[in-house]
């Protein structure tokens, strides 16, 4: 098992990915075929169960992209089931402390690094070397979404075994009581950036506006979610309808 996205990020290179909300393996395959390097199933906010997650992984991998999941909780059982289904990494929402990050490493790494159980799920198709390589290949990605997490970013990202920091700008803005783009919100983003840099870890963010995407790249973000299946479909069908009505 090799993870080309993790390898790129460790080299300091840019990796562009997308978000999956529709619950459609076909939509995932279309995005993977378009060239997105990784696709994250949003199991926190969308109707994905484990069988559908596994089917979507197959569609993603068939077109050469890397399958990730944003999970719905921090439960070690949930994390293990997602990994056993074949995830190359898990984005874990609402991580605010180093202790939470340490618990993720324990749940997602095999002994002696962590305490992940050795099951016989879909990962069996990756071959006998899966367990030997999984600790190095699987990405642990804490998502910071409130000011507690912002202020603890360096400590979170300094935890051994944490691979990539991921910012949740929407929930961060909600928790701060401001709109995205507010000066205080932007200041918090830069505090996150500083914490990741001090820890020597790559960092990412979801952005849809291409000008802002370019800005984030200049700021050193290398793990960027730049499109979602739901929003792309929504914009496309609305545009066709609007043009037909004129």
185 in active site? no
Contact 74, 104 (CB under 8 A): yes
Residue 225 host element (H or E): strand 223-228
Q: Which of 45, 74, 182, 185 is catalytic?
A: 45
Cβ count near 224 (within 10 Å): 20
Identify whether 147 is preceded by a cis peptide bond (ω within 30 of 0): no
Query: Dihedral of CA 44/156/8/87: which sign?
Result: negative
Distance of alpha carbon 176 from alpha carbon 66, whole angstroms:
33
Contact 105, 115 (CB under 8 A): no
Distance of alpha carbon 234 from alpha carbon 152, whole angstroms:
36
CA atoms within 13 A on the CB side of 108: 31
For 179, the token pair is 């709109």
Q: Which of 102, 109, 106, 97 is nearest to 137 (CA)?
A: 109
Catalytic residues: 45
């Amino acid at each position: 098992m090799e993870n080309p996205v993790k390898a790129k990020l460790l080299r300091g290179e840019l990796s562009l990915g997308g978000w999956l909300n529709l619950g459609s393996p076909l939509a995932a395959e279309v995005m993977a075929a378009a060239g997105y390097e990784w696709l994250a199933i949003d199991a926190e906010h969308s109707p994905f169960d484990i069988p559908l997650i596994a089917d979507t992984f197959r569609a993603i991998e068939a077109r050469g992209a890397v399958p990730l999941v944003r999970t719905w909780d921090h439960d070690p059982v949930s994390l293990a089931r997602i990994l056993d289904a074949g995830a190359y990494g898990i984005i874990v929402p609402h991580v605010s402390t180093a202790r939470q990050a340490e618990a993720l490493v324990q749940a997602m790494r095999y002994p002696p690094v962590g305490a992940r159980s050795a099951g016989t799920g879909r990962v069996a198709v990756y071959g006998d070397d899966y367990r030997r390589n999984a600790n190095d290949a699987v990405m642990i990605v804490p998502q910071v979404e409130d000011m507690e997490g912002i202020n603890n970013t360096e400590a979170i990202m300094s935890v051994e075994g944490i691979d990539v920091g991921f910012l949740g700008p929407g929930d961060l803005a909600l928790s701060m009581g401001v709109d995205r783009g507010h000066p205080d919100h932007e200041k918090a983003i830069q505090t996150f950036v500083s914490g990741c840099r001090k820890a020597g870890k790559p960092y990412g963010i979801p952005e849809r506006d291409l000008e802002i995407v370019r800005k984030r790249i200049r700021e050193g973000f290398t793990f960027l979610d730049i499109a979602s299946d739901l929003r792309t479909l929504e914009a496309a069908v609305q545009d066709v309808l609007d043009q037909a009505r004129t």
